[in-house]
Amino acid sequence: MNKTILLPKLLGVFLATIATWSYAGMGLDVSLGLTNIRPDIESPVVGVSATNEVKPIVNLTYHLNDNLALNTAAGITRHTFSAGGTVLGKASMAPFHLMLQYHFMPKSAFSPYVGAGIHHTVFFDKSGPTFDTLRGFPADTGGVLEIGFDYAINKDYFINVDLKKFYLKTDVLPGGGGAKIETLTLDPLLVGVAVGMHF
């Protein structure tokens, strides 16, 4: 999938969601920040490693009541994969996810929360000397765990610090057909810092 096609689609979906929730007068928080994506790879056959990356992210949180909220985010990350010091290639990931959060102290300036949810991660735009010989990496659906906090700057703005652990796998398949090479476990940890606004 071409990133130039995917990005406008993602942006359109999230802008439409913001507009709908804001018009309905729902308890919506929107934040913009950076997240550090740190893959925790298990690759028993090939011995693959991947770079950590810092990328921009947009977070949307809809408050169902004082304590419960739904959270999702928009962001794309691209990593370089290596084995034995040799670059295998690069691949991009779009981790679509939805979290249910529990906020312990929603009325206080410091408001910690925990969350659990599900992701559907799509891999695209792979390239490189080894990756060009492989089939596209299959998408994966799995669980996500989360912990974080909001800190109020004033009644309208806040700072958000968030950690998410994705449980993510994909198969490595030869381009010409044949047996699977291995199942690559990625399990990235996302550490994010953002500035947000209450709507």
Structure tokens at 50: 């991947």
What is residue 104's predicted lDDT score, i.e. its pLDDT?
96
The pTM score is 0.84
Residue (of 151, 147, 149, 188) closest to 167 by Cα position: 188
Please write the tens of the pLDDT for every residue from 106-137. Answer: 889 999 999 999 999 999 999 999 999 998 89
User: pLDDT below 50 — which residues of the chain?
Assistant: 1-5, 7-8
B/e letters for 164-187, b = 16+ CB within 10 Å, e = fewer, are: bebbbbbebbeeeeeeeeeebbbe
Decide: 48 and 181 in contact? Cβ < 8 Å: no
Q: Is domain 3-198 in CATH 3.90.220.20, yes or no? A: no
Sequence ranges of the domains in the chain: 3-198
Considering Cα of 128, then 134, then 136, then 142, what sign does the dihedral take? negative
Three-state secondary structure of the chain: CCHHHHHHHHHHHHHHHHHHHHHCCCEEEEEEEEEEEECCCECCCCCEEECCEEEEEEEEEEECCCCEEEEEEECCEEEEEEECCEEEEEEEEEEEEEEEEEECCCCCCEEEEEEEEEEEEEEEEEECCCHHHECCCCCEEEEEEEEEEEEECCCCEEEEEEEEEECCEEEECECCCCCCCEEEECCCEEEEEEEEEEC
What is residue 179's predicted lDDT score, i.e. its pLDDT?
85
What is residue 85's predicted lDDT score, i.e. its pLDDT?
87
- Burial zone of 97 (CB within 10 Å; 0-12 exposed, 13-18 middle, 19+ buried): buried
